[in-house]
Amino acid sequence: MKLIEQYETGNFFDEWMTETGAPRNGMEIITQRLKTLSHEDLLRRQKQAENYLYNLGITFNVYGDTEGIERIIPFDLLPRVITASEWTHIEKGLKQRIHALNLFIDDLYHEQKILKDDVIPQFVIKSCKDFREQCIGLKPPKGVWCHVTGTDLVRNKDGEFYVLEDNMRCPSGVSYVLENREVMKRCLPQFFSAGRVRPVEDYPDQLLKTLEYLAPGNTGHPEIAVLTPGYLNSAYFEHSFLAQQMGVELVEGRDLVVENNRLMMRTTKGFERVDVLYRRIDDDFLDPLTFRSDSLLGIPGLMDVYKKGWVALANAPGTGVADDKVVYAYTPEIIRYYTGEEPILPIVPTYLCWKEEDKKYVLDHIEELVVKPANASGGYGLMIGPHATKAEHARCKESIKADPRNYIAQPAVSLSRVPTIIDDRFEGRHVDLRPYILYGSDIYVLPGGLTRVAMKKGSLVVNSSQGGGSKDTWVWADEAHGKNNGHDARKNNGKG
């Protein structure tokens, strides 16, 4: 296929080819399979994949979009491949990180030893918008706070994976991982026979097991529900998808009520008890008697039932403190403090604008840096210095001066690139990776995760709200494509 010969790696770490044009380890078989397809056949299959996603209704809404149009996330048919040895390293690093962050959150809402030992300044936590005074003294079931985490990783020009940020409140996107795999099996089934790809289809079962583990004792078969803000939420498809896959109820706040110290769900047969609530709404809206009094999405009295141990919430309220990007800068120290180990996965070097020396450097080098608000998500508020205008630099400086605690800055990471079908050719596009981690009786990491793609040429912003797309992420079972820990991907659909 001429598309392969015409592909240019560029001045970045390209995950498909080396600088000499040879396929990297793990990409040889994919390259061979691509050569068996004609140009026209590949483009036809790409169109088939897009139509399939559209017909499934896998869409999202963009907040602030005046047109209110539902869109599919752009999907690219070329898989992103991670070798078994690379994944082993990532998985170990994520398990270490989530374990340490869970201990950190628990400590913050109890003894606060890490603050007393001056590992993190107290004001950093006290000024964190997602530190919940209402959660001090809480004891979540089994001592786990962060049951579902999506940690964003990036690969720099050195080829090493770095942690970019943690998402411990209501991380989204896993439904796209599952549907992307289904699309690949339908559109490129022969690719799966090329090697053994670790499956992702058991994620709903793993999530269900995690939620069941949290259920209060002596409840028999636990009743589980997914709490959604409603169909207008940008991730509503995912809420309904996961509820359906787990075989549990999808509910809104208006479907729930607290009665006799129990959380009850309205059904056609009357009230039924809820033991575990997988909530997909932010802390502020959970319970108007504890958090925001004007919330119409939550359940009055929910936190009282939670504190008494009669219902479990995943994730526990208060976990957002670990999402703060200022706290992120301290995660290497957090890991060392609670585990006594060196971090397996490094973070991106970070300047804290509340520090006078760091702030001066950031203001003097604004055009070289990426500046982020401490509590924003979805790519909102991001200022990428090398791509911004002088007017944007000036506005960013004023924002930093007005509220230095709320900003961090990092060097612009040269995100790795992967081949992507753009119109009728292959072009390199920057990507990140969001693996999903479940913390129940053990820590489980979904093999692969969501690869997000910056579809605009030269862009480093991968968020779907900013026009980003996605790819299927393949983790080889082992370097020789041999044993698959009892899971052979080819058994999943006869070919794939």
Query: pLDDT digit string (tens) for 387-402?
Result: 999 999 999 999 999 9
Q: Hey, which of 57-71, 129-143, 210-224 has the most confident mean pLDDT?
A: 129-143
Name the nearest CA neighbour of 146 among 307, 274, 321, 304: 321
* Phi, psi of 463, deg, nearest 5: -60, 140
- Helical axes 356-364 vs 390-402, angle rounded to 10°: 170
**pLDDT at site 495:** 33
In the chain, % of residues over pLDDT 90 = 75
pLDDT of 43 > 70? The answer is yes
Q: Is 460 or 280 the better-scoring residue by pLDDT?
A: 280
Predicted confidence band of residue 315 (pLDDT cuts 50, 70, 90): very high
d(CA 41, CA 424): 11
Question: What's the rounded mean pLDDT across residues 369-382?
Answer: 82
Torsion, CA 275, CA 278, CA 280, CA 286, rounded to 10 = 30
Cβ pair 386, 392 in contact under 8 A: no
For the ranges 25-39, 304-318, 429-443, which has the lowest average pLDDT?
Answer: 25-39
Predicted confidence band of residue 7 (pLDDT cuts 50, 70, 90): confident
Can you tell me whether residue 153 is helix, strand or coil? strand
Cβ pair 182, 192 in contact under 8 A: no
d(CA 439, CA 156): 28
pLDDT of 63 > 80? The answer is no
pLDDT digits (tens, 9 = 90+) for 257-296: 999 999 999 998 899 999 999 999 999 999 999 999 999 9
Question: What's the rounded mean pLDDT across residues 209-224?
Answer: 88
pLDDT of 493 > 60? The answer is no
**DSSP, residue by residue, 312-376:** EEESPTTGGGGG-HHHHTTHHHHHHHHHSS--SS-B---EETTSHHHHHHHHHTGGGEEEEESS-
pLDDT of 416 > 70? The answer is yes
User: Considering the domain 351-411 in this protein, what is its CATH number?
Assistant: 3.30.1490.270
d(CA 141, CA 167): 20
pLDDT of 377 > 90? The answer is no
pLDDT digits (tens, 9 = 90+) for 334-343: 999 999 999 9
**pLDDT at site 496:** 33
Predicted confidence band of residue 478 (pLDDT cuts 50, 70, 90): confident
Count Cβ atoms within 10 A of the Cβ of residue 407 and give its class: 0-12 exposed, 13-18 middle, 19 or more buried: buried
For the ranges 29-43, 121-135, 182-196, which has the lowest average pLDDT?
Answer: 182-196
**pLDDT at site 192:** 84
Predicted confidence band of residue 218 (pLDDT cuts 50, 70, 90): low
For the ranges 74-88, 149-163, 370-384, 428-442, which has the lowest average pLDDT?
Answer: 370-384
The CB-side HSE value for 289 (13 A sphere, CA atoms) comes to 9
Can you tell me whether residue 451 is helix, strand or coil? strand
pLDDT of 301 > 50? The answer is yes
Predicted confidence band of residue 475 (pLDDT cuts 50, 70, 90): very high
**pLDDT at site 480:** 43
b (16+ CB within 10 A) / e for 303-325: bebbeeebbbbbbbbbbbbbbbb
pLDDT of 213 > 60? The answer is yes
**pLDDT at site 9:** 84
Mean pLDDT rounded to a whole number for the chain: 90
d(CA 109, CA 102): 11
Question: What's the rounded mean pLDDT across residues 165-177?
Answer: 93
Residue limits of CATH 3.30.1490.270 in the chain = 351-411
How distant, in Å, are the alpha carbons of 216, 275, 414 from that of 220?
Answer: 9, 10, 52
pLDDT of 406 > 50? The answer is yes
